[in-house]
C-alpha cells in the first residue's frame, strides 16, 4: 500500500478556500477512476496541526502521481518516511505562468480552481482520460464568458473552443489575451473578424495560436484557442461532428452579475434543452459533458433527466452532494457529468 499526502493550496477566494478540501476528496475519487488502476482510499487527516488529504492505494503508479499533481488546488505532495514527510516532486502539466488564470477579476468569473476541477473530473469520465495530461484532449466550453475555461485549457497545453452570446465577453477576452501574450512575449498569432456561414453573418470569431517558446511555435507545437461569439443554441454548421473529447461549462446561474450575460438565461434548463443536440453532436463517442450549475434554478434530478433525454449516460448519482457547495445566498453550486457512449 502506498500513501501520498496532499497539501491543499491556500486560495485567495474565501468561498473556495473553505470548500476546496471537501471538493478535492471528491475530485481525487473521480480522478482515481480514470488514472489509477487499484482501489483508492481518500480521507482528510491532520499532521502537526496542518490539514492534508491522505490518498492510499496498492499502486498509485506514475499516472496516479501525475493526476494528483494536477489536482485543482494542490499545493504540494508528500510521502511519509517514519515520523517525517518527504516532498514528492509535482508533475504539473502547466505550460504557461499561473497569472493567466489569476489576473482577470470580474463579477461572474468562474473560480479558476473550480474550472480546473470541472475539467479534471469530466476528462476522467471519458474513455481516454490520459489525453488530459498528454496535451491531446479537445475541449469545448459552449458558454465560456470571459474565458476561464479557455485559459485553464491553455495552461494544460490543450486546444480549446469557446462560445458565448455576450459580445462584451468576447471583446474583454480578446483584449485580455492579446495583452497577456504580448506582455509575456509568447509568440502568437491572432485573427479576429466576422463569423459567417454561407454568406450569413452569425456573430464574431477570434482565433489564437500560441506557444510557450519560439522553438515550440516554429515546430507547430502550439495551443489553439477559438472563440465563437454567437448563440450556443444555434451552432449548426459552425463546428464539425465528433470534434471534442469534453464539453465543460459553468452554466448561467439565473442571477445577474453587473452587465454580465447571465441575465440572458433565467431558465437554464430550457437553454440546455435547446443547446444539447449540438453539444452532443460535436462530442466524440467516449467523450463527456461536465457542467457546474445552480441548484436553486435547476434540480439535479431534472438536469439528469434532460441529459438522458439527449442520449447521455449520467455518471454516478446526480444528487450525491459530493460537489455541492454554497457560493452565496443565491448560488448553491453543484456539478454533473454525463458520458456519450
Ligand X SMILES: C[S@@+](CC[C@H](N)C(=O)[O-])C[C@H]1O[C@@H](n2cnc3c(N)ncnc32)[C@H](O)[C@@H]1O
Question: Which cell numbers in the block locate residue 308?
Answer: 438522458
DSSP for 306-328, please give it.
HHHHTT-EE-S-TTS-TT-EEEE
CB of 178 to ligand X, least distance (A): 17
| CB closer to ligand X, 52 vs 334 | 334
| Smallest gap from residue 66 Cβ to ligand X (A) | 26
Rounded Cα distance, 302 and 139, in Å: 25
The least distance separating ligand X from the CB of residue 26, rounded to whole angstroms, comes to 20
109 versus 284: smaller Cβ distance to ligand X: 109
Q: How far is the CB of 229 from ligand X (least distance, A)?
A: 9
In the complex with ligand X, the residue whose CB is nearer, 95 or 151, is: 151
Smallest gap from Cβ 29 to ligand X, in A, equals 24
214, 199 contact by CB (below 8 A): no
Residue 171 CB, nearest approach to ligand X (Å): 12
C-alpha closest to that of 154 among 175, 179, 137, 171: 137
Q: Which is nearer to ligand X, 52 or 279 (CB)?
A: 279
Helix (H) or strand (E) segment spanning residue 127? none
Min separation Cβ 63 and ligand X, Å: 28
Cα 152 to Cα 164: distance, rounded to the nearest angstrom: 17
Taking the least distance from each CB to ligand X, the nearer of 125 and 265 is: 265
**C-beta of 161: minimal distance to ligand X in Å?**
13
Strand partners, 206: 192, 227
Residues that bind ligand X (CB under 6 A): 108-110, 143-146, 148-149, 163-166, 169, 231-233, 250, 252-253, 261-262, 264-265, 271
Report the candidate in 195, 201, 281, 274 with the shortest Cα–Cα distance to residue 241.
281
Question: What cell numbers appear for 106 in the block?
Answer: 470580474
CA 175 – CA 178 distance, rounded (Å): 5
Q: What span, in angstroms and rounded, lies between the C-alpha atoms of 18 and 15?
A: 6
40/101 with CB nearer ligand X: 101
The number of beta carbons lying within 10 Å of the beta carbon of residue 226 is 18
> What radius of gyration, in Å, describes the C-alpha atoms of the chain?
20
Distance of CA 40 to the CA centre of its chain: 23
Amino acid at each position: 500500500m502506498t500513501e501520498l499526502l496532499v497539501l491543499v493550496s491556500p486560495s485567495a477566494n474565501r468561498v473556495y478556500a473553505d470548500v476546496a478540501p471537501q471538493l478535492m476528496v471528491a475530485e481525487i475519487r473521480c480522478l482515481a477512476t480514470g488514472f489509477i488502476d487499484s482501489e483508492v482510499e481518500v480521507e482528510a487527516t491532520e499532521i502537526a496541526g496542518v490539514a492534508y488529504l491522505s490518498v492510499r492505494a496498492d499502486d498509485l503508479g506514475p499516472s496516479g502521481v501525475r493526476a494528483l499533481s494536477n489536482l485543482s488546488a494542490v499545493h504540494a505532495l508528500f510521502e511519509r518516511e517514519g515520523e517525517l514527510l518527504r516532498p514528492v516532486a509535482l508533475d504539473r502539466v502547466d505550460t504557461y505562468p499561473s497569472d493567466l488564470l489569476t489576473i482577470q477579476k470580474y463579477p461572474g468569473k468562474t473560480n479558476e480552481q473550480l474550472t480546473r476541477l470541472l475539467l479534471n473530473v469530466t476528462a476522467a469520465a471519458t474513455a481516454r482520460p490520459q489525453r488530459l495530461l498528454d496535451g491531446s484532449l479537445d475541449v469545448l466550453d459552449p458558454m465560456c464568458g470571459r474565458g476561464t475555461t479557455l485559459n485553464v485549457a491553455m495552461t494544460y497545453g490543450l486546444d480549446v473552443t469557446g462560445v458565448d452570446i455576450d459580445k462584451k465577453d468576447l471583446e474583454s477576452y480578446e483584449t485580455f489575451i492579446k495583452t497577456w501574450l504580448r506582455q509575456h512575449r509568447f509568440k502568437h498569432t491572432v485573427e479576429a473578424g466576422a463569423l459567417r456561414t454561407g454568406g450569413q453573418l452569425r456573430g464574431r470569431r477570434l482565433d489564437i495560436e500560441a506557444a510557450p517558446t519560439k522553438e515550440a511555435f516554429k515546430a507547430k507545437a502550439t495551443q489553439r484557442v477559438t472563440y465563437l461569439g454567437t448563440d450556443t443554441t444555434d451552432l449548426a454548421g459552425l463546428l464539425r461532428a465528433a470534434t471534442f473529447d469534453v464539453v465543460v461549462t459553468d452554466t448561467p446561474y439565473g442571477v445577474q452579475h453587473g452587465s454580465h450575460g447571465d441575465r440572458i438565461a433565467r431558465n437554464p434548463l430550457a437553454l440546455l434543452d435547446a443547446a444539447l443536440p449540438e453539444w452532443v453532436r460535436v462530442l466524440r463517442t467516449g467523450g463527456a459533458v461536465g457542467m457546474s450549475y445552480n441548484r436553486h434554478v435547476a434540480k439535479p434530478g431534472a438536469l439528469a433527466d434532460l441529459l438522458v433525454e439527449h442520449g447521455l449516460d449520467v455518471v454516478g448519482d446526480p444528487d450525491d452532494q459530493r460537489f455541492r457547495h454554497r457560493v452565496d445566498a443565491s448560488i448553491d453550486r453543484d456539478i454533473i457529468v454525463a458520458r456519450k457512449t
